[in-house]
Amino acid sequence: MTVPSFTKHYATPERAAKAVRHYRWINEHAKPLQQPALYTVGPDSLTFERIEGRPVRPEDLPRLAELLGHAHGAAWASDLQSASPGIPHHFQDGTTFDEYLGPRQIALRRRHEQGYLPNKAALHAMLGLLEETARGPWAFYKDSNPRNFIITSTGDIVTVDTDDLSLAPLGYDLAKLIATLHLTYGPLTDQAVNAALLAYNAAALRHDARLGTTDRNQLDSSLALHTVLTAPYVGRNGYRYSLPLRFSHRGAS
């Protein structure tokens, strides 16, 4: 019997090796995330178990928020307590996570050059907001969007595309999921966002009493950053709806 598989190719052997290290790091330190089995590691390709199912939808947000809370809490308790915002995080096995601030500062300046921020004042405001969010406890960012989680016919949630991980504050990846659900399906209600944040915090708190403190203002700050960072992708990759520059769900119905 042939096992269904999927082979992913990478531009360089280094990219493939990095993807393997991040995949294995998730399996060790963020155990709540279920990933496809990794069958074969080639010089510049990886062959995974093929997972059949559907991407997540807005009604799945509470489950996904709880899952991310558990994954981020587990990772912090296991391996991220010593992380710092301004430097890459190195692990004993050679894995490195990009730091939080530098790459996003570069990306925000690029968005200004591309015209997604109207003037330098808006750019400085976003850079200041980024600095404000750069505080622990620290989690990881895996680009949580509806396509990077697959819900199987049995209701399991399988996480895919963990090639690129970076440091991020708690709640930042949850904000990416909320933002991309909005981009894909349209605005979410304020009640839905608050319920997701509550589920996320409750799950993270189960891993350490110092976790579970992300508040709505912090979440909205991360949402504002994602609004700018994802702006070039509106109209592509299934993102049919736009996000307002000063993103906030408050007052949505």
Tens of pLDDT, residues 205-218 = 999 999 999 999 99
Residue 2 within a domain: no
Can you tell me the mean pLDDT for 216-225? 95
- The answer to whether the beta carbons of residues 79 and 91 sit under 8 Å apart is yes
The reply to whether 151 falls in a domain is: yes
Q: Tell me if 26 is assigned to some domain.
A: no
Rounded mean pLDDT, 111-125: 95
Query: Domain range holding 122?
Result: 53-233
Overall number of domains in the chain: 1
pLDDT at 251 over 50: no
Nearest residue to 170 (alpha-carbon basis) of 70, 28, 59, 97: 70
Range 91-98 average pLDDT: 72
Instruction: Give the CATH number for residue 144.
Output: 3.90.1200.10
Q: Which residue has the higher pLDDT, 223 or 245?
A: 223
In a domain, 247, yes or no: no
pTM to 2 decimal places: 0.92
Please indicate, yes or no, if residue 93 is contained in any of the structural domains: yes
pLDDT > 90: percent of the chain: 82
Residue 248 within any structural domain of the chain: no
CA–CA distance, 55 with 71 (Å, rounded to integer): 19
Q: Which residues contact 48 (CB under 8 A, 6 or more apart)?
A: 5, 6, 7, 8, 36, 37, 38, 39, 160
249 — pLDDT class (breaks 50, 70, 90): very low
- What value does the mean pLDDT of the chain take? 91
